[in-house]
Amino acid sequence: MVHPNPKGTIKLWDTRSAKLKRSMKGHANSVGELLFSHDGSLLASSAPFNKEVGLWSAR
């Protein structure tokens, strides 16, 4: 499960253990949209207020 934070942080959670797997900081403002690649290895994010796009490893 992925949770965007209003401060630009994205948190990736393990749904089986309910533990935080990874916290990704890179956007200056809130994250608007998140999308996983077909194989689940990449996560794309966008921050619409400042037109940023991020690409993250989801593993």
Predicted pLDDT of residue 2? 80
Q: What is the mean pLDDT of each run of 10 residues along the chain (59 residues)?
A: 78 91 83 90 87 86
Number of domains in the chain: 1
Structural domain containing residue 25: 2-57
Predicted pLDDT of residue 18? 93
List b or e across 14-40, with b for residues whose CB sees 16 or more CB atoms inside 10 angstroms: eeeeeeeeeebeebeeebeebeeeeee
- Whether the CB-CB separation of 3 and 15 falls below 8 Å is answered with no
